[in-house]
Amino acid sequence: MGEAYFYHLTRRPLELTLSDLAAKSLERGWRVAVRGVEPARMDWLDQALWTVSEEGFLPHGLAGAPHAADQPVLLTTAREAVNAASVLMSMDGAAVEAEDVTAMQRVCVLFDGHNEDAVARARVQWKTLTGAGCKAQYWSEESGRWEKKAEA
């Protein structure tokens, strides 16, 4: 059984944090599925990930594109990822179920701390997942670096 990590974004933009977390997952040998809710937003993320890192690029692709199953990082709005991911990263309030946490090595819920609706959705997701018995950690970058603020 995996764990859910909640990342409260207040300083760095989503694309930078997601790129860092995905790169660390790839270093561990984990494939990643990034689940969003809007196809246009996934297209934007696809473009942003090509330019976000000066040290290199994050190998990724969009679901539905040729060779999607071969992508180490797959951007999708679907429930199922075809790339055999062992890490799920949820953005923009995309659904995460207890079954996702059970099936994955790690689930990351990234949410915009400046958006009250996003914070409220993350709170509901935290309560739902921890209520279902999932292990969870809450991380905040409010101080300027990532700090674990809660664990269940």
Digit-by-digit pLDDT tens for the chain (152 residues) are 799 999 999 999 999 999 999 999 999 999 999 999 999 999 999 999 988 876 667 899 999 999 999 999 999 999 998 999 999 999 999 999 999 999 999 999 999 999 999 999 999 999 999 999 999 999 999 888 999 999 99
pLDDT value of position 1: 74
Q: Any bridge partners for residue 142, and if so which?
A: none
Please check whether residue 82 is in contact with residue 69, taking contact to mean a CB–CB distance below 8 angstroms. Answer: yes
Residues 6+ positions from 8 with CB-CB distance below 8 Å: 111, 113, 119, 122, 138, 139, 140, 141, 142, 149
pLDDT value of position 51: 84
pLDDT value of position 57: 79
DSSP structural state of residue 132: T
